[in-house]
Amino acid sequence: MKEYSVYNIAVVCFAAFGSLFTGNSFAVFAFTIGQPTFYTSLDLESDSSAPGYSYTNDITGAANGVFFGSGFFGCFLAGWAAIRFGRVNGFRIAATTGMIGGALQCGSQSPAMFLVARAVAGLAAGHTMAAMPTYFAEVSPPQSRGLITVPESPRFLVQRDDHQKALEVLLRLHHSASDPDNSFAHQELQMIVDRCRAEKEVVRTDGRWRLFTNKANRKRLVLAWLVMVGGQNIGPLVINNYNVRLYGSLGLGATTSLLLSAVYNTVGLIMACFGGLIANRLGRRKALVTGYLLVTCAFAVLTGMIGKYNTTPTKGWAAAATTMVYIYVTCYNCFVDLIQFTLATEIFPTHIQSQASATGGWSLEEMDRAIDGDVKSDENEKNEWEPTHVEGGEKSG
């Protein structure tokens, strides 16, 4: 009986904090640039009409650029650490690096120090983002993969010839009252052992660079890249990174903008919980195609509403645009955010998933984010997409 235990669910819920870890490092900057103390502590100009504001915009753009650029290298680190130290120890390395980066960001005394701190945090975020999908795919029951699952990966233990410990992990993960003999755990262990033996033979014949030398794997790599980069080029970068500024451009004050940003992230977290259910119900491909269409439409409508507000600054248009922001994040997190990571991992054979996740989809995605995010920062400056610090949707100058 292919079931998962209460322990399996509990361990996955705990491991899922890795998503919050990565998301916090990514999203916290959007809140930071909406707080006046950020500018005063780093001696930056906060008035968008002042001559020195261009330097401020350069720093905020660079903060995003170094974060994602460092995340690019973090993705490579994830693949190496997973093989060298194991999946769980890899997470520990990422967590330690992330805490150091977070502490440095909080204590930054100058723009240069803040940029270094963002780079350290980005390294940890990229590491975690690339490592999590591989780990979940290896320890989750097949029928719930993408929905749920922190012991060490049984596959990693088998690769280290520690079959007894791998069996203990599988017994804890998959034990259920309907399977008192633990037959499913034993069957899965045997499947993992057989697969690892077959994969060693593949490595012996094809070499360790089969991800790039094999034509089928190269096609998978391109597909993973298209899925991941596509998911970042339908709006999440500009909305997530400049969420507070977006609300400010609609005539809302700093306090209200920060509050709406918090609600935005809360809605996104709740909607992401439905992503696994949708992936299993519709299938990965249908869910992604549906998500791309819905998100593109929502983003186009949102852009039009913001443009309309710029010519007709009324509370009605501001409220409509704000509502569309929440419709956007609902569609994105339900149909794209979680599913893109699951698909980009599952299309690869298990013996190259760690290597593929690190060197393929996520490293290329981080490069895309680093370039795209900085470009969009420049676009925001050109379009004067800055807070007007006005409460209630009424302009006061």
Domain at 29, CATH number: 1.20.1250.20
Q: Are residues 191 and 164 in the same domain?
A: yes
Q: Are residues 232 and 364 in the same domain?
A: yes
- Residue 344: inside a domain: yes
pLDDT for res 326? 95
Residue 385 domain flag: no
Q: Residue 379 pLDDT > 50, yes or no? A: no
Q: In this structure, are 24 and 172 located in the same domain?
A: no
Where residue 294 falls among pLDDT bands split at 50, 70, 90?
Answer: very high
Q: Predicted confidence band at 376 (pLDDT cuts at 50, 70, 90)? A: very low
Question: For the chain, how many structural domains are there in total?
Answer: 3
Nearest 10 degrees: Cα torsion 387, 390, 393, 397: -90
Q: State whether 138 and 274 are in the same domain.
A: no
Mean predicted confidence (pLDDT) in 214-219:
87
Residues 19-44 as b/e (b if ≥16 CB within 10 A, e otherwise) read bebbbebbbebbbbbbeeebbeebeb
In a domain, 384, yes or no: no
pLDDT band at 363 (very low <50, low <70, confident <90, very high): low
The answer on 137 and 119 residing in a single domain is: yes
Q: Please compute the mean of the pLDDT values over residues 328-345 and round it to a whole number.
A: 88
CA distance 395 to 313: 8
Structural domain containing residue 182? 151-206
Q: Are residues 2 and 57 in the same domain?
A: yes
Per-residue pLDDT of 227-259, as tens digits, reads 888 888 888 878 887 888 888 888 888 889 889
194 belongs to a structural domain: yes
Mean pLDDT of the region 283-295: 92
Assigned domain for 381 exists: no
In the listed set 164, 185, 206, which residue is the last one of a domain according to the structure?
A: 206
Report the distance separating Cα 18 and Cα 80, nearest Å. Answer: 18
Q: Is the pLDDT of residue 208 over 80?
A: no
**Residues 21 and 95 placed together within one structural domain of the fold:** yes
Q: Do the Cβ atoms of 224 and 347 come closer than 8 Å?
A: yes
Boundary (domain end) residue, out of 104, 124, 149: 149
Q: Residue 360 corresponds to which tokens in the numbers above?
A: 């393929």
Instruction: Give the whole-number percent of the chain exceeding pLDDT 90.
Output: 24
> Which of 54-63, 145-154, 191-200, 340-349 bottoms out in mean pLDDT, i.e. has the lowest?
145-154
Same domain, 261 and 283: yes
Which residue is it, tokens 């100009």? 45
pLDDT band at 141 (very low <50, low <70, confident <90, very high): low
Residues 118 and 166 in one domain: no
